[in-house]
Amino acid sequence: MKKSIYSILRGTFLISDDSFKNWRVILFISGLAIIMIASAHSADKKVFEISRLSNEAKELRSAFMDGRSKLMRLKMESTIEKKVVEKGLEISEVPPKKIRIKRQE
């Protein structure tokens, strides 16, 4: 046991006659580690992109709600009356009448 630990610390297991199988295992584990690191970076990048898109969606939803509330205020009858008075028009006292046309065949 003491000899095997000593050979690992000295690195003789990498240069001995049967070291080819040791190198294969080391290269395989190194390859797996590189793949794992690349996968983790890819997942982190996707998480940040999802977070950015979520914040952007919230901002757009907020802008939409703000625009819709402004539109509702502009469509109110009192606002329209103020705009019409500024242009010099008056509100009619006589209500409008519907014109109906009978269909002729």
pLDDT band at residue 77 using 50, 70 and 90 as cut-offs: confident
Whole-model pTM: value is 0.56
Paired tokens of 7: 């050979």
Give whole-number Cα distances, 102 to 30, 96, 97, 98, 105, in Å. 87, 19, 16, 13, 10
Confirm if 81 and 91 have CB atoms less than 8 A apart: yes
Range 3-28 average pLDDT: 78
Question: What whole-number distance in Å separates Cα of residue 49 and Cα of residue 41?
Answer: 12
For the chain, percent of residues with pLDDT exceeding 70? 99
Q: Is residue 53 part of a domain?
A: yes
Number of domains making up the chain: 1
Question: What whole-number distance in Å separates Cα of residue 54 and Cα of residue 92?
Answer: 50
Q: What does the pLDDT look like over 42-76, one tens digit per residue? A: 999 999 999 999 999 999 999 999 999 999 999 99
pLDDT, position 9: 78
Q: Is residue 98 part of a domain?
A: no
Question: What residues make up the domain containing 82?
Answer: 2-86
pLDDT at 21 > cutoff 90 = no
Q: Is residue 92 part of a domain?
A: no
pLDDT at 87 > cutoff 80 = yes
Q: Is residue 45 part of a domain?
A: yes
Q: Is residue 62 part of a domain?
A: yes
